[in-house]
Structure 1
Amino acid sequence: GWEFAGWAGDLSGNTTPVVATMTGNRAVTARFTPKEYTLALTQTGQGQVMAAPQTESYLYGAEVTLTATPTAGWRFVGWSGDLTSTTSPTTIVIEENRAVHATFEPIPYTLTVQQIAGGSVTWSPLKSAYLYGDQVELVATPDADFVFVGWEGALSGDANPAQLTITDNATVSAKFTKTPYTLTTSVVGSGTVTRSPQQENYQQGDEVTLTAIPAAGWRFAGWSGDLTGTTSPATVTVSGNLSITAQFVKDAYTIFLSTESQLGVVSIAPQKPTYEYGDEITLTATPKPGYRFVRWVVTRSDSRTFADNPLLLTIEDDLVITPEFTESGEPVNYLYVPFVANE
């Protein structure tokens, strides 16, 4: 690790051996200096190789630390040349000129695609292993009556197709759900429609019960649209987006006027074959000579009596109206007993 550098004192030059002529006392010094060696570093693959200390040359016996740092997606394999090792960092002792080679290799990554019920996923390119930075396109295809709703795992969002950049081992799955269908209800006339279950969307095969509730004075006439019939409640099976209308019509009420006594004349205004809920009618009783009007007996779900003449009534049901007359010369006393019809 040392080399002869020359003579000093009573002898000069750097030739060795050398012959000195003795003509008196002599003082001669041989000078030695440490040798300097080089360290050449090379590499294969992507990474960085560092020496510490980093100099152009090294003295004999110097210890140098070598560190191999792979680029993302690569891994350090080992040292070769004047150093055999797979360790990084590692130390080499300089005893001569050294040449060391670092080898890096790309890391193979796997892509696992989990197939979930409701659809399938294809991807391209299809390989057993991928390298760092590879681009993979994934396509989610839903089965019939299903829709794709998004990605899970190494992918997120709902883009379809989706691009995945490989940076590590990756697992991807697609989320599918049954196609959401809407059920729209409307009414013609006056009434409401309730549904059970009550929710914004339904899935293929769901059963929904619809109930038509008429307003007072109206009756349910039937369904139209994606449901027919006159049954309420009715059950519909969801097979797509549905639109259903409940048809309501006003109830028609009749008025039967009993005038069997023939003791007077009764008029109804307005005079119609049937009446609707909420209609108002005016009853006027005109007794025959020698008679006077006593009261009205109005029968529906119960019986009521009225003394007003004319009498204003609001139609809410079928009515049977009986006017009562008596001879004008005879006083009439009545004990009013309300009558309620048996249900």
Structure 2
Amino acid sequence: MKKAYVYAVVLLLLIMITGCPAFWKSADATLKKLMYNGVEVPEFSAKKTLYLVVLPAGTTEPPTVTAVSAVEGVNIVITDAETLPGTATVLVTSLNGKESLTYSIFFTVKVEISITADPPNGGEFSGDGEYVYGDLVTIVATPSIHHTFNGWYLDEPEEESFEESGDDPIYTDPIVSFEALNDVSLLVSFNPMEYTFNLVPVPPEGGEVAGGGAVNYGDSLNLSALSNDGYGFAGWWIDGYMFSDQAVDQVSTVEILNHTECITCTEYTIQGRFDPSAPQWQLDVTIESTPVNGGETWGAGVYPYGSYVTVGATPSEHYNFDGWYYGGEELSQGATYTFPANDYYTEGITYTALPLLGAFADIIYSFNAVAEPPEGGTVSGGGTAKYGQTVSFLAAPNESYTFEGWYYGEENMSGSPSFTLDTASFLDTHTLPITSTENSFTFTAKFDLDVPDTITVSLRAEPPEGGQVSGGGKFPKGTSTTISAKPNPGYEFSGWYYESCGSFFSGYPTITLSDLQFDVTLFASFYQP
């Protein structure tokens, strides 16, 4: 009995020290860690052998699986998945060969379905987003008012293998279901509806109307009304709403259909109304541009009583618009100017001429001159000029400098100190740099330091009785010389110093001055210890 107790205690101690007896370890075929691409499998447990891993959308390569066994030395055989979706297996065999476990990881991927509407306001859609491979995707298209569904298209068919069909829609039904097998970018197409607008004059004897017909939603009608004698134009009307008071007007169908009573109709009647009480008066607007080549103008024409006049101007290159004028009086500085025709109506007359002047002004350009470096020389000239004028520049180098050239940015404009710029040629081939202020150009006169061909190396001893120096003299630029300092008896060498400022140059008595470019003046300092 006492021996059995002793054995039990010894066995317990072995378990506490080693963790478990060797014969238990030899039968263990479990894993301590299971990973793919260095990431631990979610919710891993040594006793759980089946796992599902969903990889991010866009993953194309099967992951690499790694494993760590619970017992060191067991046999592990890993077979990675060959495709996506696909299964990777890990076969673990115990040390004694009698136990084995197979861990399986089924890898699948997320599939991204993206949808774009064309036009964006043509309707709404649903069904886009991320899915797990093989899930059922249902996409739904709902056209907005004034639009119809046209079809589902591949947004980038050359990059997709999803039911390739060229320019034809891949689906013609607004509601479609399919399996999520790969990333797909879809375009849901909507068509604007076609509407017919019939124009009628009210009353019929009041005048003539034109500009109706069949047009798509979003397009415009070009309406025109001509009053008969004894009538004045009183506006364009639909379902009791006046949407324009202009006898000649371009009106979007969006504006017109916003005021219709029937939202399901595809055919409407527009009334061009005429009023026998309206004055029979017309404003004849003419436009003259000054200068003639300064720009283009538009808006000239004959306008009836009650209408609005809009005139516009587009300046030519190198011109700015300067204003609208009538009889020498400025009416507006804006390039587009709208005013009531009635501003020029005089009771009792039937016709008024309004000659307008659209004025343009030359753009004034600034041409600035700077020196680089500033101490290299002086510059003059430049200034302001119109397109086609000339600007002169002059550069004068300071002493010890030579003129290198005139530059605009990195472009060499002239190698002569006296330089005349043809602004027309320059402005036709150059644009303002991003860092430049508006209509301002900077030209740089570059100067180079004039280095002599002969370099002088001057040396002396301080104090003179302290020692001897050698190596000084005149040398060709770019060559080298070796200078030496030798103390006299009773003195020791302290160092080489610059003559001009007394600052330290070197502590070695013998040194080589290489690639001489400038004059050098040094003194060797000696001292008595």
TM-score w.r.t. length of structure 2 = 0.30
Richer in helix (by share):
2
TM-score w.r.t. length of structure 1 = 0.43
Q: Larger relative contact order (C-alpha < 8 A, sep ≥ 6)?
A: 1
